[in-house]
Structure 1
Amino acid sequence: MAAPRRDTRGILDPAELLSRVRFRRHEPAAPELRPYLEHYWLIDWDLPEPFASHVVPHPSVNVVFQRFEDRSYGEVAGIGLELFTQKLEGRGRVCGVQFRPGGFRPFAPDAHVSEWTGRRLPLAEVFGELDGDPVASVLAPADDAGRVAALDAFLLAREPRPDPQAELAIGLVDRIRTDRTILRAGAFARSEGMSLRTLQRLFAQYVGVGPKWVILRYRIHEALERAASDTAVDWARLAAELGYADQAHLVRDFTATVGVPPTAYAPKG
C-alpha cells in the first residue's frame, strides 16, 4: 500500500495555506481500512487574524470532525461540485477522512453515494445512531497517533464489508486519475467492456458523480498544479494535452470551477 500522496492538487495557493496551518496526512493504522481510503488529513491552526482557504474538491466523500474555537461537530461531506471556501480563525482543529472515489459506500450501504453529492450532513443522518461521542474521541488526543487510532475505531465500528462493485469503481476512477489518455467517458466505457449507461450507473451508486465529471475534475486539478508551478504555461498546448478541443474550452471550465481565468490565477510563493 502506497503512503499518502504528497501533492497539493486541488488546493488554491497551497504555499499560503501551509504557511498558516499544520497540515498532515496519514494512512490508517488498521490494514483492513486502507483499500477504501485515500488517507486521513489533520489540520491544526492558531491564527492572529482570519484566513480563508479555497479548495477545488476531489471526487471523494469525506468524513470530517472539526473544532472551531468552542464548537465541535462531525459531518459527512459529499463530493463538492463547486469551489469550497472555509474561513479559519482563532484556534481550531480538523481531523478528516478522505475516501477513495468509490470507497465510501461499504460504510453506508443503504443509499447511493450520489445522494450525498453537494451536501454536508450530520454523522447520525448518514450512519444512524452513534455510540458514545465520536467527535470528542477523535478531536481530543494531543498526538497524531491517538487521532489516527480514534478515526480507525470510528470507521471499523461501521463494519464495512467487501463489495466487488466498490472495488470495481475504485479501480476505474484510479485509471482515470493516472491515465491521461482517458479523455471521453464513452470511449472509456467501451475499453472496459461496458456500456456508457452501465458505467454512469455504477458511478452514481458508488462514486457520487458521473465519469465525465471525474475526467473533467482531474483535468482542472492538473491545470491548477501546472499554473501554480509554472508562470509561463502554454495554455493552448496544455488544453490539447488534457483532451480539450481548444484553449477556449479549458479557459471556460477553469474559470467556472476556480472563479478566475487561468491567466489571472497566480498563487503567491
Structure 2
Amino acid sequence: MSDLPDRRGVLYPDRLPTFHREDAPWELRDRIRWFWIPRWRLAPGETSRQELLPFPASNLVVEPGGVSLSGPTTGISHRDLSGTGWAVGALLRPAGLASLTAEPRRLRDAETPVEAAGLHRAVTAAMGEADEAVGRSCSPDQRESVARDRALRFFSAWAAANLAAPDAGGVMANAMEDLIASDRSIVRVDQVAAALGVSTRAVQRLAHRYVGLPPLAMIRRYRLQEAAQRLREDPAVTIARIAAELGYSDHAHLSADFRTVLGLSPRSYRRAPGAAAKGSSDG
C-alpha cells in the first residue's frame, strides 16, 4: 500500500491494489479532503475483495463506466476487483457535498449517477494513456504518474467550477467534521456542540443537511476506524485499553460496535489475514 498517511478505514491493507492518495489543492480543501486513485491489474480468474470501513462522508467517483456520487455508509463496504481497471475519486467535505445534493440522507448506503460528461471524458483520457510528450523512454511508473497528475488536474478544475464555495452552514459543518475526526475525546454530540458554541440541535441539523448521517453515527464511525487501526498496527495493545482510550465505557461496548458494523469481534478482526501483524495481544 502506498501514499496513505491516514490509514483509517482501510480494514485489510495487504489486499489493496496499487493505491495513490493526494490532498486536494489548497483552494479546494474546503470542498474536497483528498483524491484517491486505485489501479489494478489482476491475472485471469483472480479476484481481490476490497473491504473498507468508509469515512462518514460522500465520494464523487469517476470510473470507465461513468461518474457517480456515493453517499455515506452505515456499515462496511466491499468491492470485488477483477481484470484491469481504475477509479479516480474525491472524498468530499460536507460543504462540497452541498453543491451536489440538497438531501444527502437519500444517499445513505447508496450511489447515484452524476451528469458530468466533460469530467468523465477528460479523466478517462488521462487515465487511458500517458502524456506522449514524456516519451517512450519513461518507465511504467513514470507514465502512470503523468497520467494520474493529468487526471487530478482535470478533476480539480471541474471541482473549482462546479462545487460552490462554502456558505456559513458549510463552514460550520466542515468545522464539525474536523473536530470529530481529530479529537479522540469526542464521544458525545453535546461535546461537539459545546466546542462549536452551538446547541445540540444545531449540530444535528448540520449533520442532516451536509453529511446525511446523525452526528453520533459520525462520532462512532471515526472512533471505530481508530480502534481498527490500533488493532492492526499495535500488536501489544489490549482491546480493553483501546476501548478506554476511545471513550468506550468498557471493551464489551467496543466489541458490540465491532460486531454490529463489521460483523466480527475485535479479536477475530485482529487475527484476520491481511489485517495485522502476528503475535498480537487479545486481552
User: TM-score scaled by structure 1?
Assistant: 0.86
- SS of the equivalent of 1:140 reads helix
CA contact (8 A) 1:61 1:104 kept: no
Correspondence for 1:79 among 51, 57, 72: 72
Match runs of 1:103-182 below 5 Å: 103-108=95-100, 111-124=102-115, 130=116, 132-141=117-126, 142=130, 143-182=147-186
CA contact (8 A) 1:106 1:163 kept: no
- SS of the equivalent of 1:64 reads strand
2-structure distance, mates of 1:210, 1:5: 27
Correspondence for 2:24 among 24, 28, 42: 28
Identify if the C-alpha distance between structure 1 residues 32 and 187 changes in structure 2 by more than 3 Å, giving closer, same or farther.
closer
| Number of equivalences | 250
Matched, 1:51 2:48: yes
Structure with greater Cα Rg: 2
Amino acid at match of 2:121: A
Amino acid at match of 1:151: F
Pairwise CA distance, 1:150: 1.5
RMSD between superposed Cα atoms in Å: 1.9
* 2:63 matched residue in structure 1: 66
2-structure distance, mates of 1:231, 1:162: 42
- SS of the equivalent of 2:198 reads coil
1:44-73 deviations in Å (ceiling 9; x for gaps): 110011111000010111001113xxxx22
2-structure distance, mates of 1:121, 1:162: 23
CA contact (8 A) 2:95 2:166 kept: no
2-structure distance, mates of 1:211, 1:47: 39
The share of aligned pairs that are identical, in percent, is 32
* 1:7 matched residue in structure 2: 6
Structure 2 unmatched runs, 5+ = 131-146, 278-283
User: TM-score scaled by structure 2?
Assistant: 0.82
Structure 1 unmatched runs, 5+ = 125-129
Identify if the C-alpha distance between structure 1 residues 255 and 24 changes in structure 2 by more than 3 Å, giving closer, same or farther.
same
Identify if the C-alpha distance between structure 1 residues 98 and 233 changes in structure 2 by more than 3 Å, giving closer, same or farther.
same
